[in-house]
Structure 1
Amino acid sequence: MSDQETPFTDKAPASAPRPVRGAARCAVAALALAALAWVVRAVWHIRLATTGQPASGPPDQGGGQHRPLTALEDSYHLVSSVGGAVTVLCALAFLSWLDRVRDNARALSGTEPRYGSLWLYLGWILPVVNLWIPRGIVADAHRSVFPDRRLPAVVNWWWALWLAGLAGGVGLIYTDSTDEVIARAYTDVLSLLAADVVIVAAAGTAALMIRTLTTAQQERMDETAPTGRPGTAS
């Protein structure tokens, strides 16, 4: 076990698994909203590109100077802000589901998670380790209950699309300001649209992954309910 797998294991073993379908439905609904938000953002990217950059140049004129925004540019700021808020909501719903699945996996398997509690949050934001720890948490929650089963392929598809969405700062996390993204829509809209497509696909595969892992775990919970004992892998 590596140094990154032990420091924050602090919860006592769960006494019994809890229903997970409700948390899964909330997470899937939040992912659907996030996908819709990115579709709307893509529509605005196309509208900006089609309209073309005003003769006065990009919103950020350089040297700390900004020209007044057009009505379309101003509306894009609103679209971007709403999309950001939806993304935060989606993250909270996803983490709530993952925490429930992780606790249930501990109750069903009788073993502690490979990664401690704080990695559930820090694993997404710490550089370098965020390239594998979130996937590792998901995979561990499934494998601890089903050690003889192969990890569903959708987990790897989701993670590949997630990483692609992060690459280059043009998807889930924009390194540019909103005004700079507007300028990119005028000059390089295809890269923005490609990022939008990747994020929508990542949201779709994340929803499928949630349904797949939730169904498997709930079935195991239903199997063990009559005896009230942690299940063993089949």
Structure 2
Amino acid sequence: MSDQETSDQTPASAPGPALRPVRGAAHRAVAALAVAALAWVVRAVWHVRLAMTGQPASGPPDQGGGQHRPLTALEDSYHQVSSVGGAVTVLCALAFLSWLDRVRDNARALSGAEPRYGSFWLYLGWILPVVNLWIPRGVVADAHRSVFPDRRLPAVVNWWWALWLAGLVGGAGLIYTDSTNEVIARAYTDVLPLLAADAVIVAAAGTAALMIRTLTTAQQRRMDETALTGRPGTAP
């Protein structure tokens, strides 16, 4: 058999996975974080307003035994602020996950290695008890380290995660068991823990935005280098 015939019968190597544009997703995630931070600042302002106004003589909104008194205008507006803040937080989470999904896909294409944590953990790792204390950070760290194994993980990743955990378990932050009326009662009687939780969440949003910018910039530079060499995937 001739060399030409052998060459014709040799299957061409499959192209590597395509790189996905990441800057747009990063910009959307940062913008969503900014809006979420603003929503929590507004929430903090309402906490201060409630504390300064003081609890009405009729007592807290939840009177006990399943009884509730009519809300004041300020209390009713706090319910609206809280609802808007919750909706903004959900949209922010979706934007963040969209960015992280692209970063993970690009890390797989650039490194040729499968992620340490599968897609299952990308989403459910945030809400499953106990494992949500470390897996989301692990997903972010793995995406960066697989592309840059010789570099130290940027410190901003650890700052973001520490603030996220503080907001998560702070008792009045991102996830808590109190109803909105119970939070109103707490603002009347002990507002400082609420304000501390608000500050931590705003700080977590700020560090998350800085982390997104840091990791995106590093990955984009590697993608640009890949575009020049034509490996391992197609340039965005």
What TM-score do the two structures reach when normalised by structure 1?
0.90
Counterparts of 1:210 and 1:77, CA distance in 2: 31
Number of residue equivalences: 232
How far residue 174 of structure 1 moved from its aligned partner, in angstroms, is: 2.5
Structure 1: which 4+ aligned runs deviate by more than 3 Å? Answer: 1-6, 9-19, 231-234
Q: Residues 173 and 197 of structure 2 are in contact (CA less than 8 Å); yes or no, is this contact kept in structure 1? A: yes
Q: Residues 108 and 115 of structure 2 are in contact (CA less than 8 Å); yes or no, is this contact kept in structure 1? A: yes
How far residue 185 of structure 1 moved from its aligned partner, in angstroms, is: 0.1
Give per-residue Cα distances to partners, 1:136-175, cap 9 Å, x unaligned. 0000000000000000000000000000001143111121
2:10 matched residue in structure 1: 12
Q: Residues 35 and 199 of structure 1 are in contact (CA less than 8 Å); yes or no, is this contact kept in structure 2? A: yes
Counterparts of 2:34 and 2:8, CA distance in 1: 33
Change beyond 3 A, Cα 1:112–1:168: same
Q: Percent identity between the aligned chains? A: 91
Counterparts of 1:13 and 1:69, CA distance in 2: 73
Change beyond 3 A, Cα 1:15–1:38: farther
Change beyond 3 A, Cα 1:54–1:141: same
Unaligned runs of 5+ in 1: none
Change beyond 3 A, Cα 1:191–1:216: same
Q: Residues 43 and 81 of structure 2 are in contact (CA less than 8 Å); yes or no, is this contact kept in structure 1? A: yes
- Does the residue aligned with 2:178 lie in a helix, a strand or coil? coil
1:3 matched residue in structure 2: 3
Q: Residues 48 and 191 of structure 2 are in contact (CA less than 8 Å); yes or no, is this contact kept in structure 1? A: yes
- Does the residue aligned with 2:170 lie in a helix, a strand or coil? helix
Counterparts of 2:2 and 2:129, CA distance in 1: 17
How far residue 226 of structure 1 moved from its aligned partner, in angstroms, is: 1.7
How far residue 118 of structure 1 moved from its aligned partner, in angstroms, is: 1.0
- CA-based RMSD: 8.7
Change beyond 3 A, Cα 1:13–1:223: farther
Counterparts of 2:8 and 2:140, CA distance in 1: 18
1:109 matched residue in structure 2: 111
Q: Residues 18 and 104 of structure 1 are in contact (CA less than 8 Å); yes or no, is this contact kept in structure 2? A: no
Q: Residues 50 and 188 of structure 2 are in contact (CA less than 8 Å); yes or no, is this contact kept in structure 1? A: yes
Give per-residue Cα distances to partners, 1:91-144, cap 9 Å, x unaligned. 000000000000000000000000001100110000000000000000000000
Question: Greater shift after overlay, 169-178 or 202-211?
Answer: 169-178
Q: Residues 5 and 116 of structure 1 are in contact (CA less than 8 Å); yes or no, is this contact kept in structure 2? A: no
